[in-house]
């Protein structure tokens, strides 16, 4: 899509390959998602649940584009550890502070890979008597889903490569890249 220029000087780029989504494309799509969520939740006070750590940048930008009263909370879940592939075992590392009973919840994810973490998370939140649980994800890796999850809001669909940037990491690094790029490893 674009050359390496948007990421130069922002983080070590020795392990970063082709840019798949530019900073400008992200900004444009986040605005579109914010408008869509604003329309869909008109008259409601949704609770946005950010899945840490990867979704923090996306969620911060997204909620600023939603023109509604809203609240935020965060969960930390892990199925990757320090690996580049999901283990399939989901652990809650930080739970919500807010009560979900009767709330309209928008789960904000950075990336959907196999869908196993999302499936677990959705069941967990629905079991807390939420009025509704929808998902907004920045990225979906094409062809990797092992479960069929309904995702209301999708930023971009990407090839099944491991990617970094805009909150997504490899071993804790590269989150500060303003774009989404292939991670080519060391």
Cα angle 25, 78, 17 (rounded to 5 degrees) comes to 40
Active site positions, annotated? 113
């Amino acid at each position: 899509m674009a050359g390496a220029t948007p990421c130069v000087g922002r983080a070590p780029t020795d392990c970063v390959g082709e840019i798949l989504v530019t900073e400008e494309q992200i900004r444009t799509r986040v605005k579109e998602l914010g408008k869509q969520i604003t329309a869909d939740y008109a008259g409601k006070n949704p609770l946005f649940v950010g899945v840490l750590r990867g979704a923090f940048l996306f969620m911060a930008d997204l909620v600023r584009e939603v023109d509604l009263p809203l609240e935020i909370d965060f969960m930390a879940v892990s199925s990757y550890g320090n690996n580049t592939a999901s283990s399939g075992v989901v652990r809650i590392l930080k739970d919500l502070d807010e009560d979900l009973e009767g709330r309209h919840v928008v789960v904000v994810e950075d990336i959907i890979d196999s869908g196993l973490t999302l499936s677990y998370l959705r069941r967990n939140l629905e079991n807390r008597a939420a009025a509704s649980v929808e998902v907004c994800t920045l990225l979906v890796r094409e062809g990797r889903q092992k479960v069929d999850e309904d995702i209301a809001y999708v930023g971009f669909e990407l090839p099944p490569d491991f990617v970094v940037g805009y909150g997504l990491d490899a071993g804790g690094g590269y989150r500060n890249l303003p774009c989404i790029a292939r991670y080519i490893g060391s």
